[in-house]
């Protein structure tokens, strides 16, 4: 069963951060939206990958992200030691994105692939993805 939960957090600086979590049998992903900043044409995409049980970062997890419309690639790279990948992209309007995250290696834990989707907004895109161990 998949459910959606929408939560609003009040930040110290007075801005509001909205988060949407979508749990599945394989893991959880959430998209967080900061307030719109229409002043620039370049926005940042930031994806953080963590273990669903320990909530520790998963370094070297592979992240693929592309446009939903034509499946063209935006990024395909490994997370850094903090479980994060980032990329700056040109913003030309709200656009639907799709992607996946996975981590399989010869040493250490392996995780179930998590597919995700979201919308690139003028404020950018921030995802936190929780992977479950196999």
pLDDT tier at 34, thresholds 50, 70, 90 = very low
- pLDDT tens-place string over residues 42-83: 999 999 999 999 999 999 999 999 999 999 999 999 999 999
95's enclosing H/E stretch is: strand 95-102
Q: From CA 99, how far away is CA 114, in angstroms rounded?
A: 8
Q: Which residues are CB-contacts of 9 (< 8 A; sequence separation ≥ 6)?
A: 16, 17, 18, 19
Is 14's pLDDT higher than 50?
Answer: no
pTM recorded for the entire structure? 0.72
Is 24's pLDDT higher than 80?
Answer: no
> 72, 66 in Cβ contact below 8 A?
yes
Give residue 27's pLDDT: 54
Residue 61: alpha-carbon gap to chain centroid: 12
Is 4's pLDDT higher than 90?
Answer: no
- pLDDT tens-place string over residues 99-112: 999 999 888 899 99
**Cα torsion 50, 124, 25, 111: sign:** negative
Place of tokens 């940042």: 44
Q: From CA 59, how far away is CA 95, in angstroms rounded?
A: 28
| 92: three-class secondary structure by DSSP | coil
Report the CATH fold assignment for 5-10+21-131. Immunoglobulin-like (2.60.40)
The domain locations on the chain are 5-10+21-131
Average pLDDT over residues 106-134: 93
More confident residue, 58 or 34: 58
């Amino acid at each position: 069963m998949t459910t959606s939960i929408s939560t609003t957090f009040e930040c110290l600086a007075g801005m509001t951060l909205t988060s949407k979590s979508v749990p599945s049998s394989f893991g959880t992903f959430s998209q967080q939206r900061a307030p719109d900043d229409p002043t620039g044409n370049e926005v940042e995409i930031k994806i953080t990958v963590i273990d669903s049980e320990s909530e520790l970062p998963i370094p070297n997890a592979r992240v693929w992200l592309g446009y939903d419309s034509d499946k063209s690639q935006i990024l395909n790279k490994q997370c850094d030691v903090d479980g994060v990948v980032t990329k700056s992209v040109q913003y030309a309007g709200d656009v639907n994105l799709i992607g996946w995250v996975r981590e399989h290696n010869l040493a250490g834990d392996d995780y179930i692939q998590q597919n995700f989707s979201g919308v690139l907004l003028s404020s950018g895109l921030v995802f936190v993805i929780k992977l479950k161990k196999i």
